[in-house]
Each structure stands twice: as structure tokens, then as C-alpha cells.
Structure 1
Amino acid sequence: MPTTRSSKRQSIVPNGLSEEEVDSSDSEDEITDFTGVLPPAPPDDELAPIDYFYSMFDKDSIALLTDQSNLYSVQMNPNKPLCISQHEMEHFIGTLIMTGIYSFPTPRFFWMNTTRVESIASVMSRDRFLQIRKNLHVVDNSNQLFAGDPAFDRAYKVRPLLNIVKENFRKIPKEEKLSADEQIIPFKGRSIMKQHMPLKPNRWGYKMFVLAGGESGICYDFIFYSGKGEKSEYGFCTKIVLALCETVPHDINHKLYCDNFYTTIALQVELFKLGIFTVGTVRSNRLAGLVMKTKTELSREAEALLKSTPLPPTVKPGRPSLKLSLVENNASTSPRAALSPLPSKSVRTSSSSSSPSIFTVYNRSGS
């Protein structure tokens, strides 16, 4: 019996149709079933909110900021050291988080009589807050390499802190369905690393490549983008996804979903070797040597399947007007999703159609 599921996502299926149910074979389920085991969630009363915060931003991060900020203050003015403790650094970080809730033009408003915020002003004085912020550092600037050095890192001044937080995210047990995508950290100041992505909610800022849960949205790994760096035999996009998947357990049938920026045949093949199944939209110029039916044929037949190739992935064209295709290495060509038409004010019909299950799989868990 087919199972019925509903989806509110924008679907990559023929225009005017919505997803209803998927009928998949038992043989495919046996091959692609997730064999990993996730630990049970801790009881609600076991961890406080601060414990979750410290699991990502741990004591090592606090110690790093404390030591390097004290060092920088001595380098700038030996007669007036900062002398900040780890406990005071924790107060400073908490104050920074609180200030992000408000939209005052300058931090001084938090301590003014007319706009005073007691939860901030009572923890730390204005002058002390500004003094710590002025000296806040993550690394010793005297060790920074010049731009011409092969090991030069544009993100040198924050790299140690990024590495600590990154390792903490990597420790989180990963769910079955994963998604690779980019995210913008909003920033409108001056920086050579600032990116512009017009389709993102925050168009300007620092770009992060993120491996997240396809259903939970939890971040499991990230890469801070500071430039393309050295060329890879697979290309930049494939290199990024392979790096994000370094800590994904092999051969337990994880499912990875990504959009057409990342998907390549080379990526599909490499992840297939690792036992990681993937589904993603793919650009037509990345399907060299694979001949698809013309737009006229697609319109007449509603879909077109590519002939078998020696490569593991299976490629199926998507909606003709999008000039986009889906490529995967885990869904078979035989299972099909039964589709029913969307309700219309002018036309009421009970007719139905079908589509390869790859479309439904991607729409439910894709990026």
C-alpha cells in the first residue's frame, strides 16, 4: 500500500500538481535504510540553557578570548593592562548577546538614564564594557603572515575561535537526512571577505557553507568562506561538500540534499563510494556527454528519463521552464509518486498523474 504524505514546500514537479503519495519498492528500502543510531534526547530538566550554550561556546573559547585580549592590551599599552578574568569575559559575552536584542544606535544608550537597560547596566559598567570591546582579540597579531605567504589566511584573526566552535558542532550526532547550503552572517562594514548574495534574506555579510539537518535544521559543520584557495581536482563546489562531509559516518546510508550550486556528477560518485546517498538539482552544463530529450519532447511526454550510464547517479530532467535537472545516487528509476492536481477556482477535476519519486524526495528534505 502506498503511504500518504503532505508537503508545504515548493515542489519541483509538473506545474499545477501537488505531491500526494510515494510508492517505493521493498528492495530499494533495504538498500537505502538508515542504519545509524542516534542517542536519545536528554531530559528537559537535565540541561539548562547555559549548558547548551557552553556545549558550543565552551570554556576553551572563553580562555582564548581572555588570554589574547589581555596580551593585546599589554602590547598596546604596558602601563594600562586590561586584566580581565574569565568570569568577567563571560559577563562581557552575555552583555553582547543582550545588546543584540535591542536596536540602539550606540552601546552607550544601555547606560543612559532615559534608556537604561537594567539587565545590562547592572552587570558591567559602560566604560569597562567599551574597554574590553576595544581590546577584544583572538590571536597574537605579531604572528600574522603577510598576504604573499602561501599559508596566508584572511580569517587569521578569528580562525582559532572558529576552529573551537567548529569542532564542538562536529561532535553532535548526525541525523539521517542532511542538507548542504550557504548562509550569510549579516555585516555591512568594510571587509575584503564580505559577500553579496541577493537571494538571501540578509544580502550582505560573511558567507558560511553549512552542513545542517535536513529536517531539524541543526548545524553539524560549517566552513567560513575567505576565498576559493587552491584549486581542487573536483572543482570548488565539490571540494566544499566533501569537506563538509568529512565527519559524516560512512556506509550507514546518510542522505544528503543540495542545490544546483553544489551538485556535480563527480560529487555523486565520490559520496556514493563513501556510502552517502545524495539528491540534488544539477545545472545542464554539468551533464557533459548526457543527452536529454528536447523541450518539445518533454512538454509532450511530461517527463524524460536518461539512458543508463556506467556511473552510479541517475539523472532525470526537471520542469522544462526551469532548465534544471535532478541528479541522485539513491532513488531508483522505478518508484513513482502519485500526484493530484492543485484545487482551482475555475476548474474542478479528479484526474491524477505521476512523477519519479526523486522529485518528492528532494522536495521533502532538500535544501
Structure 2
Amino acid sequence: MAVRSCWILAGTGTHCRIRRSRASQTCSMGDMSGEYAGHARTGMFSASKNCVQILTTFDMGPSTKRKRLQPVVEVLQDSGSDSYSEDNDDDDNEQPAPQAKRLSKPSKSAVRPTTWHKADLKNTALPEYQHFTPDCIDLPFQYFTRYFDDQIIRHITYQTNLYAAQKDINTTFTTNENEILTFVTILIYMGIVELPSVDDYWARETRVPQVANLMSSKRFRLLKRVIHFNDNTMIYGTSDRFFKIRPLFNPQSVDEVMVAYKGKKAGKLRQYIKSKPDKWGFKLFARASEDGFIHDMVLYQGKTTLEAHDVPLKPEQEGLGATSQIVSVLVSTMSFPTTTAIYADNFFTSLELVRYLRDHNCRYTGTARENRIGKPLLRTIKEMVPRGCDYVTSDDGILAVRWKDNKTVTLLSTDMGVGPMSTVIRYCSETKKREPVSYPAVIRSYNANMGGIDKSDMLVHLYRTPMKSKRWYLRLFAYIIDVSLTNAWVVYKRDCKALAPPSSRRSSSSFVESLTSSTDVPKPVRGHRSRTPNLAVRFDMSLFHAPVHGERQTCKHCSRKGNIMSLRLPCTCCQIVFCAVHRVTLICWIRAN
């Protein structure tokens, strides 16, 4: 079945998307800007966690809620961020200094005059796409390593060892690629099997073998404390406020997301958006396909956003507004922009952006705000009393449509026209009857191609990787893992189209099993676990607590003070041992301090 591929863009309060012809995509996470062979549609969006989305907090919050422009046209919102508690990890909390340079604003003198006339836009079909199922379906783990590849693992390993040496945390500390991959595996499994505390995965009562057998709790905490992604000695003099996590985002393509984070360590990088479910978090602008595959992302850091992204602006881009520049940068990383249709919400759409993309043979459709579309010869919102639509086309081929259902929405498009017109049934409060309402093709196309961002956000939120830490950028690291796993899942489902793919939870569990069987993971060495007596028995003074000769053990009180004294006289009831010095003052039912 032929499918039109799309890209979606979304920003604070709105989204955009692109419909594109699919071609082969690179499988490496190191170059997610290329499209994977199994992708149908692609999209872009910005988040205020957002994650899009970019989630404003890197603790991904609940999936983004949709809001419809009328009952039909939906406006995608940035997903918000939820609160996330922090642990006591030690780390340096320095932040790169922001730069005073502002994003360019369009010059009024550079705006081209626009002539509008009553005409429809001719629809031009995109090349059809067909997905070819591979001869052999790889394991879920192999799909994951396409995006979280060896290059990323090697980089994290090197930077972690470098940071440990710089901080002299432990002169004998060193890690390797297998251990870092095991650490990531544990984080993924913790997102599948959630427990109240990280310590519960190793506790005797709630022990999880899939986690505890891979790594000791002490080693896990140490790795979490020292894991690093960039050289701290290079931070001075840079304007990149995401310097500590930047190397993981440069080689990766992501969708717009809002990453939940409510801590205060990130300073002004943490954003607040009142309308989002997760109101606090890191804001990003991203590009994703209709099925939720994330391709490209820009971390928002205020005035220096584009400079830190290390993408030089062309002269024609500098004349665009700040949000339009974000779209132009995300579009510039597309492999086949001329065979792609872009969809965005009114946060991004402007007449200058649509004209810029048209000059570069890129198709665009997006909702627009009244102050960004010039003065097309459309009926005003107040004049749109009956349900229906009005449309005009500019002399350079830009369609402006104003459609009213329950409310009024305005769109600009260079891809799809009003016809062929269809109808939808709506209830009329005046006549108390259900009546047909004209439904333009451009509105229908916009609604059909604007769901990819919500799809990606929903998949990430299903089994979000836990990462509670004072180091704010670890929340972004967890999001990288989540996006890699989500992208792998999307491609895996495409390749398994002819089969019945397992559920997302089972697929993630299978990934952990594949990892443990495909890597040589040393089992943690445990010492002898001392017996913990039943408290109800220990403090019951009605029982007869008397010493009895038995195996040699250490005094409970002395061992806490560091003086080991070995005895053979444990209590008959609770098996607690006290030495001769403490036997008089500390009985079984009295707590040793």
C-alpha cells in the first residue's frame, strides 16, 4: 500500500509535520538525520520536556495531550515535564555562560509584497513509498544498537574514565564498554519493572535477578556518580549551556519533546510551560516521522540555541524569525527534502517561512496565527459565521485557507489544495440536527499527518528510564536511551509487518535478555550475608534469651564500631551475638547504638 511520508514540527503550543517520500535510512544512531528504510512519514516539532517534544524536564512526563482545532483539526502541543526527585549524587554543577547574541529577527524591508487572488492550489502527488521487509528479522537488541551504537558507548567509556581521573574519585577506578552497556541495560530494565527505590532491586525482599545478577548495587551507584559525556576542561569560554550532554545529541536525530525535570540544578535551562501536563523540563525542537521515529533535534537554550547547535545560518535564513530559523535548520538535515511534505503548528508557521521553504522546493502545510500571514483576501474570523471555508492563493503559489467548524482555523500550504472537497457531519445547536459541513482536503491532510509527535511521546512515556540525580544532564542521557529504544521499536514493528510483533514491554524485556546473552558480563561477587533476626522475636521480653555455644560470629555492636571480636555464643532465640563487654549492657531486645 502506498504511503506518503511526513515530517512533523511542533513547538510551544503548536506542531508541524512533513509528509515525505521514503527512501533508505541509515541505521546508525550516529547519523539519525538520514531516514531509515522502513519509515513512512516524518515529522518535526518543538517542545517546552519540551519533547517536544522537547521535554522541559528530562524526566519524561505523561504523553502529550491532543487539542483539536475544531473537532477535526488537531493542534499538537509540546509535552510538558513532570517533577522528578533527586538523589545525593556528587558532581560538579558548573554551567557554561550564556551568550548575549540574540536570534535574528526578520527585516521588515526584506518582506516581499504578496498578491492574493481567488484560486485553489493544484495538488501534486509525492512519489509513492513501499516498505520492503528484510529477509531476516534481527533481535530487538540489534535494532537498539543501530541507534545507541558502539561509537556512543566508546565515547561514554572514555569520558567516564577521564572524569574519574580528573576528580580522583577512586585511583583504581576504570570501566569498559561492556560495563557501560550493562549499566544502560539495567536502566532500561528499571524502566520496565518499576520499584519505589533503586536499592529495592538489590534488597533481599524485592530483589530483581535481571538487575542484581548483572552488577552489584555498590558498582551501579559508583558508575552513576562518575558517568560523564564531555571533557570538563573544555567548558570554559563556550556559550553552549548543554555542553555536558552535547556529544550525545550531535550524532543523533530526535523528535521534539519535553523532558520532565523539576530540579533547580539546571538553572535557566529548565523551562516552565503552564499549558503542558509536565510543566517543568528541558525544551527541545525536533523532527519525527508519523509513526513516532525521531530524526533530528535542537536543544533550546535561549539566545544561543542555534549557535550551540553548530549549524551556520545562510544569508536567506538570517532574515527569518527565530522559530522559522529553527524549522529551516531542522529541514536542512533531511536527506530528501524535495520529496517531503512538512507539517507544523502555528508556533512555527509564518508567510516568510512558507515562502523560504517553497523557494527550496520543500512542501509545507501548517496552521498559522493571524499576525503572521499578512493580509490575504479572506473573510475575517468574525465574518466566518456559518460553518465552511474560504481560501485564496498568492501569486507565488501559497494557499491560505480559513475553515470554520466549531471554531475557526487558518492554514498556509504549498502542498495541498482545498479540493477535492469532502463533508463531515456536525451537530448544529440552532437547528438541533446533525448537518454536513464542507471539509477541505488540506485540512484532512493536516489532521492525518500530525500525530507522529504524540506517538513518539507516548512510546517514550510507556517505560521511561529512571534517572534521579542532582546532575541535571543525566535526565537528558536517560531520554537519549528512551528515544533509541523507541526508534528501534518503531523500525522493528515495520520489519515485522508480516508477522505479529510482541508487545512493547516484551520487546524491551527481550532486549535485556539479548544483551546479557551476547556480552560477557562478570557476575558480581557477594560476601557472606549476615543473618538479620526477626524483630518481633528479638524484642519480645517474654521469651528466654540465653547464649548457646555455636559457630564463631562477630559481636554486632563491636562490628559497627570497627572493632571485630569473634565469639561462639549467639542468642538461642534471635542468634544475635554480643561480646562479654556488651553482654551486660546490651541485651537482645535493646538496640545497639
* TM superposition score category, shorter chain reference: 0.7 to 0.9
TM-score (norm 1): 0.78
Secondary structure of 2:332's aligned partner: coil
Answer whether contact 1:317 1:324 (CA < 8 A) is retained.
yes
Q: 1:165 aligns with which of 252, 256, 265?
A: 252
Q: 2:127 aligns with which of 35, 45, 60?
A: 35
**1:256 and 2:348 matched:** no
**1:208 and 2:284 matched:** yes
Q: 1:110 aligns with which of 192, 201, 204?
A: 201
Q: CA deviation at 1:339?
A: 2.7
Q: In the alignment, which residue of structure 1 is the partner of 2:557?
A: none
Aligned CA distance change for structure 1 residues 300 and 73 (closer, same or farther; 3 Å)? closer
Larger Rg over CA atoms: 2
Answer whether contact 1:256 1:278 (CA < 8 A) is retained.
yes
Q: CA deviation at 1:47?
A: 1.2
TM-score (norm 2): 0.50
Aligned CA distance change for structure 1 residues 16 and 120 (closer, same or farther; 3 Å)? closer
Q: In the alignment, which residue of structure 2 is the partner of 1:270?
A: 356
- For residues 274-327 of structure 1, the C-alpha deviation after alignment (integer angstroms, 9 at most, x for no partner) is 222111100001122335323443114743223x43333111123387554111
Secondary structure of 2:342's aligned partner: strand
Aligned CA distance change for structure 1 residues 121 and 332 (closer, same or farther; 3 Å)? same
Aligned CA distance change for structure 1 residues 52 and 295 (closer, same or farther; 3 Å)? same
- For residues 319-352 of structure 1, the C-alpha deviation after alignment (integer angstroms, 9 at most, x for no partner) is 38755411111222443223333599x9555x53
- For residues 39-87 of structure 1, the C-alpha deviation after alignment (integer angstroms, 9 at most, x for no partner) is 62435x4211111111111001110111111111111117624210111
Q: 2:441 aligns with which of 351, 357, 362?
A: 357
- Which AA in structure 2 matches 1:261? F
Q: In the alignment, which residue of structure 2 is the partner of 1:52?
A: 143
- Which AA in structure 1 matches 2:370? S
Taking the aligned partners of 2:168 and 2:184, their CA distance within structure 1 comes to 23
- Which AA in structure 2 matches 1:357? A
Aligned CA distance change for structure 1 residues 11 and 339 (closer, same or farther; 3 Å)? farther
- Which AA in structure 2 matches 1:99? M
Answer whether contact 1:284 1:323 (CA < 8 A) is retained.
no
**1:195 and 2:271 matched:** yes
Q: In the alignment, which residue of structure 2 is the partner of 1:175?
A: none
Structure 1, gaps ≥5 residues long:
1-8, 18-26, 170-180
Q: RMSD of the alignment, in Å?
A: 3.0
Worse overlay, 119-128 or 98-107: 98-107
- Which AA in structure 1 matches 2:444? T
- Which AA in structure 2 matches 1:127? K
Taking the aligned partners of 1:78 and 1:134, their CA distance within structure 2 comes to 10
- Which AA in structure 1 matches 2:127? T
Q: In the alignment, which residue of structure 2 is the partner of 1:95?
A: 186
Aligned CA distance change for structure 1 residues 295 and 70 (closer, same or farther; 3 Å)? closer
Aligned CA distance change for structure 1 residues 310 and 65 (closer, same or farther; 3 Å)? same
Residues 145-156 of structure 1 mapped to structure 2, 5 A cutoff = 145-146=236-237, 151-156=238-243
**Identity over aligned pairs, percent:** 26
Q: CA deviation at 1:201?
A: 3.8
Taking the aligned partners of 1:108 and 1:85, their CA distance within structure 2 comes to 24
Answer whether contact 1:197 1:204 (CA < 8 A) is retained.
yes
Q: In the alignment, which residue of structure 2 is the partner of 1:319?
A: 404
- Which AA in structure 2 matches 1:240? I
Q: 2:372 aligns with which of 279, 283, 286?
A: 286
Secondary structure of 1:137's aligned partner: coil
Q: In the alignment, which residue of structure 2 is the partner of 1:63?
A: 154
Taking the aligned partners of 1:343 and 1:290, their CA distance within structure 2 comes to 29
Taking the aligned partners of 1:54 and 1:230, their CA distance within structure 2 comes to 29
Taking the aligned partners of 1:114 and 1:107, their CA distance within structure 2 comes to 13
Q: CA deviation at 1:364?
A: 1.3
Q: In the alignment, which residue of structure 2 is the partner of 1:20?
A: none
**1:183 and 2:231 matched:** no
Q: In the alignment, which residue of structure 1 is the partner of 2:450?
A: 366
Q: In the alignment, which residue of structure 2 is the partner of 1:331?
A: 416
Q: In the alignment, which residue of structure 2 is the partner of 1:173?
A: none
Worse overlay, 356-365 or 136-145: 356-365
User: Which structure ranks higher in relative contact order (CA pairs < 8 Å, sequence separation ≥ 6)?
Assistant: 2
Taking the aligned partners of 1:105 and 1:301, their CA distance within structure 2 comes to 52
Secondary structure of 1:35's aligned partner: coil
Aligned CA distance change for structure 1 residues 69 and 230 (closer, same or farther; 3 Å)? closer
Taking the aligned partners of 1:314 and 1:255, their CA distance within structure 2 comes to 15
Aligned CA distance change for structure 1 residues 334 and 221 (closer, same or farther; 3 Å)? same
Q: CA deviation at 1:366?
A: 2.4
Answer whether contact 1:11 1:359 (CA < 8 A) is retained.
no
Q: In the alignment, which residue of structure 1 is the partner of 2:230?
A: 139
Answer whether contact 1:336 1:357 (CA < 8 A) is retained.
yes
Worse overlay, 88-97 or 333-342: 333-342
Q: CA deviation at 1:248?
A: 2.5
Taking the aligned partners of 2:444 and 2:428, their CA distance within structure 1 comes to 19
- For residues 186-207 of structure 1, the C-alpha deviation after alignment (integer angstroms, 9 at most, x for no partner) is 2222213112233334332212
